[in-house]
Structure 1
Amino acid sequence: MKIIETPIIPLKQSFAKRTGMERAIDRKAICIFAATGFFLEADTFYTDEQVLQPGTKYVLDADGQIKEQTVNFKWFHKPRDISFQTALDEFTDLFETIVQEQTGSNPVILPLSGGLDSRSQAVALKHMGADVHSYSYSFVGGFKEHKISEHIAKACAFPFTALQIPTGYLWDVLDGAADINKCYSEFTHPRQMAVLENLKQIPGEFSLGHWGDVFFDRGIAKQDAHLSELGLIYKKVIKKSGLALASALWQSWDLEGDFEAYLKSRIQELLHQIPIADTGAKIRAFKSLYWAPRWTSVSLSFFEAAHPVNVPYYDDKMCKFICEVPEAYLADRQLQIAYIKNRNPKAARIPWQGQMPYNLYTYQNNKSPNNLPYRIRTKLKREIEALLGKKYIQRNWELQFLGTKNETHLKRYLNEPSFLDFVGMDVVTNMYDKFKHDDPVFYSHAVSMLLTLAVWYQKKEGSKITTYKENLKRDFESH
């Protein structure tokens, strides 16, 4: 017998066997994976395998099958009648206690961004007097996010390293990335793979700010208040072109019924199981139950490939705290903003990337006509750079899918004969053609998911697709 007790938001996936199921590829599960970028609930690539659910105690037998399970935590919404100052004081004490417990006396590696989650960690670690080495990265030809991060590091007196994410880095690290995440998330997002060897040289343990933006903001944006619960999940979770790809796979595999009807039924049933009346809190709980452990946590494995990982916002105590804080105090990042301003005013005066060029004291001014000069300057700068032949990079996939060399690598995976037989040649051809000729932004997710499935399929088959560099080396040696 083996006992596994999963946290409220697990850092890692734990697997068990499904009783009485023969091993087969779970095509329905893969369709949802294609639509969202993560597997839903307990789904995996195979019908006889399942992932253990959050906040649950399991007893597994010697064959890895579940014999007993007890739910230890259910998301709830019971906001207490407290003042904002009380909520802030409680958050301050809790957050810094968690960071201290997780950090101990170990050196800390802190990835910094231009946002609030890592900034709040920087402020806490500075207040604690922790031994911190910070870093950040920016795209080649993209927004210089590391400039904001460097200012935050200076405000906290942390050593800082600026790293650059190069074009086409994916193809050199793709096989290793697949070994790390087992293809349970797509490969275009984990930028840290491009600098993994650099990160391994920094001593310490990571402290990561993931999920802070979900906990400490509105569960529903103001402009989405009219949407149904299902409509909100669709808008938040279903990726651009995800439905198109999933529906194409469903038809190619000749699965019974309609994919979208199946997807809606699955989501509606999971929403029904969350006993929360407040819609915003319910959506936050849904994302914490299913999105966080099956997408965000999977991506954390790339950090773990370098060093141990700590995630303060994942802590069970933080999850329970969120359930008792009034929604009005969680909205618009108020608690994090107030915390940073109280603990480190200097860090609060550094621009907030999401509200450029404003900071935590002035971001309310980010509206017309106040922000017009900045917007005009930014637009003119990009237009001038475009005239000079410099492309502005905004998205991860632009580094990996655009250009002749990237296209050569990508097609080698997508056009592998056994993979085409598996998903259907028409599916690959149609999605890639739409990416190339219709709307690359919209169809980039579909192409990324096809690449993920292609790598998973080659791993499953025990084969290896030779890379562009390997082919050049082979050709050179043969001559």
Structure 2
Amino acid sequence: MKHIRTQILPSKQRFAKIKAPNELNLKAIAIYVATGFFLDSDTFYKDEVCLLPAHDHTLDEEGYLIESKPWFEWYYEPRQLSFDDAVNEYVTLLKTITKEQFGDSKVILPLSGGLDSRSQALIFKELNNDVQAYSYSFKGGFPEHKISEKVAKACGFKFQKFEIPKGYLWDDIEELAQINGCYSEFTHPRQMAILEDLKAMEGEMSLGHWGDVLFDRGVPEGTQESDIIPLLYKKMVKKDGLALAKSLWETWGLDGEFESYLSQRLEQLLSNIKIDNVSAKVRAFKTSQWAHRWTSTNLSIFEEAHNIHLPYYDNRMCEFICTIPEAYLADRRMQLAHLKTNDALSEITWQDQKPFSIKNYRYNKMPYNLPYRVIDKLKREFNGIIGNPYIQRNFELQFLGDANDQKLRSYLFSKPYLEFIPESIVQSFYDKFKNEDVVRYSHSVSMLLTLSLWHKLFYKTN
């Protein structure tokens, strides 16, 4: 017998066999196509499952799952404490976890223009670790690295910047597929472009993933219980992904309607979370599903370079969140309060509120932000006229242009793959991407590309 205890929020997916037909799980794949991640324990095959988070799993000697029992269930029991006390507890916990993870070791710290990595930076500044920080920006996109560099300088860290080049994906796409098992579409992991540079750094990596979800409201203010399914549906399901999933559902001759099946799955998973507070309930759902099956997938790329540590993934952080009043978590209040204790960091631009900082972001509204918005729009239009279009999304680097298109087509229209996904469906969504709306149909094309790599590298016959 083998016993495995999974964390509340696992940093990697672990799989096991079950007694079931060795067949493709087509319904699960349809959901994957629509959303970009698998739900619950679903995988590509019916006889394989992903081990659920916060469970004790028992496997037999052959690796078959015998039993799974939860050792933790999400709850919401807010304590009676002041906001200042809550912030102090949060900072102390974050510092304790970070100190346990690193001790006096060298640290590799990815920095962004947001709050999670900046919060980590402030902790490492106080711990006096030797930190190598880095950041990257899209070629022709917003220079996020300039914000990160200011954060690193304010903390006294070494800093390295990278530019993500056009078409980097094609040289590394099969390596990426092997690393993440094709459990995530390929237009997101920018870190793949600098994997060799990361390997050359010294230390272990500290990643700030999921802090932005734990320390924010789970749903918009005023959301009711009856609003949850429509809200999740809107957040999770891509419009072109839905259209692709429905096409595949009909082609594969699956029973019922895809949308009804997906809604039923969401309702069932939500019913397992015994929390009355709507915001806390949705946060728990996102963490147990979204984080585990999507966010954690590409952590494996960082792990190819170095050992990784995630303070917001720590069990204690998840349990801490369950005891904090929603009003304190809403709108990133606790993280903002922590960062405001350092004048230098709080004066640096907050990317989500650019050009405003943590100190004055509340002015990011009309008429205060009008000059920036006008100037920014004029810059983008001018750059487009002179042949330097503004890059906002990773797919623009990967799929646009003749060279990218040639590589894309070589995977989408490979003959073995077209035995799995009919050529008529591939051609239809490819044409819509090329001729109708590249933004709207980028997800479906990326999913078709991901399935093509999965079929080439992992597909198995009975």
Q: Which moved more, 1:111-120 or 1:215-224?
A: 215-224
Q: Which moved more, 1:265-274 or 1:433-442?
A: 433-442
SS in 2 for 1:287: helix
CA contact under 8 A between 2:224 and 2:278: conserved in structure 1? no
The structural deviation recorded for 1:105 is 2.1
Partner of 1:13: 13
SS in 2 for 1:58: strand
Give the letter for the 1:266 counterpart.
R
Give the letter for the 2:185 counterpart.
E
SS in 2 for 1:442: coil
Is 1:273 paired with 2:272?
A: yes
CA contact under 8 A between 1:252 and 1:427: conserved in structure 2? no
In structure 2, what is the Cα distance between the partners aligned to 1:324 and 1:378? 42
The structural deviation recorded for 1:461 is 4.9
Q: TM-score, normalised by structure 2?
A: 0.98
The structural deviation recorded for 1:24 is 1.1
Partner of 1:423: 421
For residues 123-142 of structure 1, what are the structure 2 equivalents within 5 Å? 123-142=122-141
Partner of 1:27: 26
CA contact under 8 A between 2:179 and 2:300: conserved in structure 1? yes
For residues 439-458 of structure 1, what are the structure 2 equivalents within 5 Å? 439-458=437-456
SS in 2 for 1:74: coil
Identity of aligned residues (%): 53
In structure 1, what is the Cα distance between the partners aligned to 2:3 and 2:104? 30
SS in 2 for 1:241: helix
The structural deviation recorded for 1:67 is 2.4
Partner of 1:350: 348
Partner of 2:2: 2
The structural deviation recorded for 1:69 is 2.6
| Cα distance per residue 1:49-92 (max 9 Å; x no partner) | 00110001111101212223321100001111211101111101
In structure 2, what is the Cα distance between the partners aligned to 1:232 and 1:270? 15
| Cα distance per residue 1:432-462 (max 9 Å; x no partner) | 1111111111111000000000000011358
Alignment partner of 1:413 out of 387, 395, 411: 411
Q: CA 1:65/1:313 → structure 2, altered by over 3 Å: closer, same or farther? A: same
In structure 2, what is the Cα distance between the partners aligned to 1:224 and 1:431? 35
In structure 1, what is the Cα distance between the partners aligned to 2:425 and 2:224? 36
Partner of 1:235: 234
For residues 98-177 of structure 1, what are the structure 2 equivalents within 5 Å? 98-177=97-176
Q: CA 1:318/1:165 → structure 2, altered by over 3 Å: closer, same or farther? A: same
Partner of 2:393: 395
Structure 1 moving runs of 4+ over 4 Å = 223-227
SS in 2 for 1:440: coil
In structure 2, what is the Cα distance between the partners aligned to 1:80 and 1:226? 23
In structure 2, what is the Cα distance between the partners aligned to 1:396 and 1:387? 21
In structure 1, what is the Cα distance between the partners aligned to 2:195 and 2:175? 11
In structure 1, what is the Cα distance between the partners aligned to 2:125 and 2:239? 40
Partner of 1:360: 358
| Cα distance per residue 1:302-350 (max 9 Å; x no partner) | 10010011010000000001011111110111100110111x2211110
Partner of 2:96: 97
Question: How many residues of Structure 1 are paired with residues of Structure 2 in the alignment?
Answer: 461
Give the letter for the 1:4 counterpart.
I
Give the letter for the 2:7 counterpart.
P
| Cα distance per residue 1:161-213 (max 9 Å; x no partner) | 00010000000000100110011111110000000001100011110010001
Q: Which 5+ residue runs of structure 2 have no aligned equivalent? A: none
CA contact under 8 A between 2:223 and 2:278: conserved in structure 1? no
In structure 2, what is the Cα distance between the partners aligned to 1:220 and 1:67? 37
In structure 2, what is the Cα distance between the partners aligned to 1:146 and 1:222? 33
In structure 2, what is the Cα distance between the partners aligned to 1:282 and 1:326? 13
For residues 267-346 of structure 1, what are the structure 2 equivalents within 5 Å? 267-342=266-341, 344-346=342-344
Give the letter for the 2:87 counterpart.
L
In structure 1, what is the Cα distance between the partners aligned to 2:387 and 2:396? 16
Partner of 1:468: none
In structure 1, what is the Cα distance between the partners aligned to 2:225 and 2:432? 32
The structural deviation recorded for 1:36 is 1.0
Give the letter for the 1:142 counterpart.
G
In structure 2, what is the Cα distance between the partners aligned to 1:162 and 1:200? 15
CA contact under 8 A between 1:431 and 1:447: conserved in structure 2? yes
Partner of 1:185: 184
SS in 2 for 1:324: coil
Give the letter for the 1:418 counterpart.
P
The structural deviation recorded for 1:227 is 6.5
CA contact under 8 A between 2:356 and 2:364: conserved in structure 1? yes
CA contact under 8 A between 2:3 and 2:58: conserved in structure 1? yes
Q: CA 1:17/1:226 → structure 2, altered by over 3 Å: closer, same or farther? A: closer
Q: Which moved more, 1:61-70 or 1:313-322?
A: 61-70
Partner of 1:61: 60
In structure 2, what is the Cα distance between the partners aligned to 1:247 and 1:37? 15
In structure 1, what is the Cα distance between the partners aligned to 2:143 and 2:28? 38
Q: TM-score, normalised by structure 1?
A: 0.94
Give the letter for the 1:249 counterpart.
L
In structure 2, what is the Cα distance between the partners aligned to 1:28 and 1:340? 45
CA contact under 8 A between 1:13 and 1:293: conserved in structure 2? yes
For residues 360-379 of structure 1, what are the structure 2 equivalents within 5 Å? 360-379=358-377
In structure 2, what is the Cα distance between the partners aligned to 1:289 and 1:56? 11
The structural deviation recorded for 1:225 is 6.2
In structure 2, what is the Cα distance between the partners aligned to 1:311 and 1:154? 23
CA contact under 8 A between 1:139 and 1:393: conserved in structure 2? yes
Give the letter for the 2:288 counterpart.
L
In structure 1, what is the Cα distance between the partners aligned to 2:425 and 2:282? 32
In structure 2, what is the Cα distance between the partners aligned to 1:457 and 1:233? 29
Give the letter for the 1:387 counterpart.
I
